[in-house]
Amino acid sequence: MPPTKRTEILITGSGSAGLTAATYLAQQGIVYTLLEQRDGPLTMGQADGVQCRTVEIFESFGLGEEVLREGFHVVEVGFWGDRSSTSTSAGEGDGNGAGIGSGAGSGGIRRTGRTADTQPGLSHQPHVILNQARMNGLLIGRMRGFGGREIEYGCRVTGVEVDYADGGEYPVKVVVKRRGMVERWEARYLLACDGAHSTVRKALGYRMIGDTSDAVWGVMDMVPRTNFLDIRKKTTIRSKAGNLLIIPREGESRSLTRFYIELPGGTSAKDVTLQDLQNTAKDIFGQYEIEFVETVWWSAYAIGQRHADFFHKDYRVFLAGDACHTHSPKAGQGMNVSLQDGYNFGWKLAAVLKGLARPSLLETYVLERQKVAIDLINFDRYFARLFSSKREASAEEFQEGFVKAGKYTAGLTAKYDASPITMDTGVAGELSANVVVGMRLPSAQAVRFCDSKPVQLATVLKSDGRWRVMAFVGDVGVAENRVKMAALGDYLGSRESPLQKFRLKDSDPDSLIEPILVGYGRRHEVELEEIPESFYPITGKNQIRDLHKIFFDDESYNKGHGHLYEHLGISPNKGAIVIVRPDQYVSAVFGLDDYRRVGEFFEGFMIPQKAELLTGRL
């Protein structure tokens, strides 16, 4: 029998969840093993909607420019309904008075409204369309850039158990079939990202709970030849012949388009043909002509919403992505939520394996992502009902529901419950009205102090495993604020500071917890020497002061004023301390003079390092 192989973390499945977790682990220098059942990388995925939050995550990995350059930007949504309907939102019709076929006759369709795809202020990043295969490719490239291990293809998991009989150091026992040969693995942890038919989930005896409706939809990627007016916009059509959702696709030809098509009641997904999809689409388009020049891919599916009854086994085996939640594809959530499962898990496991955080930190993965999965299923049911022809909503009601769902489809509604890393101190509403503990930190423009460059605050929050203590010190022209800023700076630079207490040997003072100062008002009236040195510590190979951690909410030279304090709901007279996690979610908010609670917060889950081993100066 071949010797048993051993690894710290075994990841099964190289989809969105597995690759994102592996990328974060690689960035943190954690050695992992990533097994994939397929014989090679994904060449053409079916997922394509990349929500704003996912673009933010790619930006934090240094991949934002590629996604923005290659993706189709979804800017506007068009709403179309029956031609016989006279209901059109004020100012939202065709823009030419009577409109296309407005009111006269029946059997056709007309535009009933328009709206922004992403409502202003939700995110500095757009909603884009980019094929999952390309998204995966970007992650694989970044994973390699971080020195991560290659994916091992042709490996199918056939058995999993958690067994502490040999001491428990590597309790996860996995049987793998690699191109006909059986291998045995031992791991400290296993992350199962092996899809809706997960063999890991089945091996653990876990079930998917939920239901499947009798609604059947078809989907096809094709090149249309049509005189329909909004073919290059995200568009919904609700007509007597059925419902259809248009998603323009990326690509230099600017012609590839995806249709989601509601099929008649009583349809069986397995009996659907391409001709059925094309005929139904033609009926829905009414008076507009459409030909299908080329069809790249098509499928049909019954809408189902399910999630796993358990998301972990002894907090050693964890489920992620489609292995623990499945739903319909119309809302564009699958790839995004799966990716964010892996993102949530990656930084936490890295902190545990590096000895920075207690293993109990991993319990928050289940607490947080199981709730997200259940919320996803509930949203998907709502979204499916919204689109259903059985639900006779008016054009206004449908558009209103679609707009209200926009924050969810942008990926910005996840709110994590209380835990050791999510602490609602009760002052957030008073000190930072728009900063919600447990949610991702909103972003707006600030001006970097050292070089006057205007930047989005979110771009400061790189996916590098670091926490941030963000000191919104308010208007430093106010004497009281200056006193509070100085006291906070002294604390962060002291030996009792969490920046000192929890960092690893020979690491920089900001290697685990990065101090960031955000002032308010005229930056040119403040000199660097007036700001505590703990906000520009000595770091790096050359041991020089890092001046890139200080920002002001001020007018920039060429990009106006970001009004960051107003966007976050922070008073320039009071200020606030905001603790931000390595995944850009808000952990806690404190008053400026309550700075000692920052240390108490980190003591709740981090492991103190021996003081005599620490080097580096603030």
Distance between start and end Cα atoms, the chain: 55
pLDDT tens string 491-529: 999 999 999 999 998 899 999 999 999 999 999 999 999
Which SS3 state, helix, strand or coil, does residue 605 take? coil
Query: What was the pLDDT predicted at 105?
Result: 33
Integer angstrom CA distances of residue 460 from 24, 441, 447, 463, 510: 17, 12, 12, 10, 14
Q: How distant is the alpha carbon of residue 403 from its chain centre?
A: 20
Query: What was the pLDDT predicted at 389?
Result: 58
Query: What was the pLDDT predicted at 85?
Result: 57
CA-CA distance, 252 to 70, in Å (whole number)?
Answer: 9
CA-CA distance, 558 to 568, in Å (whole number)?
Answer: 22
Domain ranges across the chain:
4-69+129-209+305-410, 74-84+107-126+211-303, 427-604
- Helical residues (DSSP H) of 448-588, grouped into ranges: 479-492, 498-501, 564-568
CA-CA distance, 558 to 248, in Å (whole number)?
Answer: 33
Query: What was the pLDDT predicted at 106?
Result: 42
Query: What was the pLDDT predicted at 366?
Result: 98
Contacts of 181 (CB under 8 A, 6+ apart): none
Angle at 110 between CA 108 and CA 111, to 5 degrees: 160
CA-CA distance, 139 to 21, in Å (whole number)?
Answer: 10
* Class of the CATH-defined domain 74-84+107-126+211-303: alpha beta
How many CA atoms, within 13 angstroms, populate the side-chain half-sphere of residue 586?
Answer: 27
Under a CB-based contact definition with an 8 Å cutoff, are residues 578 and 470 in contact? yes
CA-CA distance, 443 to 123, in Å (whole number)?
Answer: 7
- Write down the number of H helices and E strands in the chain: 15, 28
Q: Give one word for 17, left, alpha or beta, with left for phi > 0 and alpha for psi -120 to 50.
A: alpha
CA-CA distance, 348 to 582, in Å (whole number)?
Answer: 9
Q: Which CATH superfamily is domain 4-69+129-209+305-410 in?
A: FAD/NAD(P)-binding domain (3.50.50.60)
| Two structure tokens written together for 234 | 């995200």
Predicted TM-score (pTM) of the model is 0.93
Beta-ladder partners of 76: 116
Which SS3 state, helix, strand or coil, does residue 288 take? coil
Check whether domain 427-604 has CATH 3.40.50.720, yes or no: no
Regions in the chain scoring below 70 on pLDDT? 1, 85-106, 213-214, 329-332, 389-393, 611-618
As a residue count, the chain comes to 618
CA-CA distance, 217 to 260, in Å (whole number)?
Answer: 7
| Two structure tokens written together for 299 | 């499928």
Closest CA to 300 of 184, 419, 218: 218
Which SS3 state, helix, strand or coil, does residue 459 take? helix
| Two structure tokens written together for 283 | 């009926």
| Two structure tokens written together for 618 | 């603030």
Query: What was the pLDDT predicted at 498?
Result: 97
